Amino acid sequence: MKIVKKEMDRKKAQIFEGWLSIIVNALLFIVKFWVGFITGSVALMADAWHTMSDSLTSVIVVFAAKLASKKPDKEHPYGHGRWELICTIIIGCILAFIGFEFLSDSIDRFRNRETVVFGTLALVVTIVSIIIKELLAQVAFYIGRKTDNPIVSADGWHHRTDSLSSIVVLAGIIITRFVTDLWWMDSVLGVFCALAIFYASFQILKDAITRMLGEEPSPELKEQITEEIAKMYGEDLEVHHFHLHCYVTQKEMTLHIRLYKDISIEKGHMVATSIEEMIMEKFDIRTTTHVEPLR
């Protein structure tokens, strides 16, 4: 019952973050694109499309929540949680594509020596956008940490890069208000926005792919598990060879224990089972324990 409730809370939190992002980003896109259009700024329009891409990726977040919450079945005994990782990779690829488009547009404008005159409206809209997007990022990061949800954290990074790119645009707007002969400023700002997007894409893809490939448990987790086993059996066994497989909605771990070789098979099985039950209760990880003789 506890695990079912946890999965339901995770799904609700993910859907809440997704819909909040969709609504707020759609409104921001309309305002930012309009200001970029009337000023002719590629940096502002790129920033607007970056914001719109947040809405699109948040649609993926909501969609992934529906798919990942499906119960295990005969074909998928470990559940459907990895849909979150698959959709996280899709978000990372979308970000990389958007970054490439912004970089290409900025280079073209630099070659053509196109300039932009920013007004007060652009300044106000950019400041408001920075504040709102950072608040959205903090909400996503908080939910991602509390639910150990990679796709929500990825969405948070998307919000954060939008906020950072808007900060770069803001700096350019302020500079051009004091120095008028900077025809290249908009193009340079567009390049910085693209680089910020590329960085976020790399971080998102790296985390998702690492989880899908399987990973070594953190030193902290291994230490905690080893300490809990020591409380149960003292120095009578050794623990080693940890491996963790992430299925998002559930985690599977394998580990090896060494027991005195004169112990009975029944006793060894009882020790392994008690360790597995303890890890499930305290760490919410399903574990398979391999027993070896202690030499």
Domain boundaries, the chain: 2-213, 219-294
pTM: 0.59
Amino acid at 235: E
Cα angle 147, 152, 154; round to 5: 130
2-213 has CATH 1.20.1510.10 classification: yes
**Which tokens sit at 106?**
């900025």
Check residue 249 and give its pLDDT.
63
Separation between Cα atoms, residue 245 and residue 30, nearest integer Å = 42
From the list 123, 133, 167, 188, the residue with the least C-alpha distance to 20 is 133
pLDDT for 117 equals 61
DSSP class of residue 215? B
Residues 264-275: tens digit of each pLDDT: 888 888 888 898
Q: Is the distance from CB of 209 to CB of 89 less than 8 angstroms?
A: yes
pLDDT at 116: 60
CATH topology of domain 219-294: Alpha-Beta Plaits (3.30.70)
Question: What pLDDT, on the 0 to 100 scale, is given for residue 78?
Answer: 64
Distance CA 102, CA 59 (A): 22
Separation CA 7–CA 248 (nearest Å): 10
- Write down the pLDDT at residue 4: 38
- The residue type of 215 is E
131 Ramachandran zone, left/alpha/beta (phi>0; psi -120 to 50): alpha
Alpha helices in 69-149 (DSSP H): 83-111, 120-147
Tokens found for residue 197: 């997007």
Sign, CA dihedral 37-42-44-49, equals positive
Weakly modelled stretches of the chain, pLDDT under 70? 1-8, 10, 41-43, 46, 50, 53, 67-69, 72-73, 76-81, 114-119, 179-180, 182-183, 186, 214-216, 235-236, 247-249, 295
pLDDT digits (tens, 9 = 90+) for 1-17: 344 344 447 677 778 88
C-alpha span between 96 and 199 (Å, rounded): 9
Q: Identify which of 240, 234, 233 has the alpha carbon closest to the alpha carbon of residue 258.
A: 240
Residues near 275 by beta carbon (within 8 Å), at least 6 away in sequence: 229, 232, 257, 287, 289
Among 83, 33, 85, residue whose Cα is nearest residue 55:
33
Distance from C-alpha of 159 to C-alpha of 28, rounded to nearest angstrom? 12
Cα distance between residue 32 and residue 48, in whole Å: 5
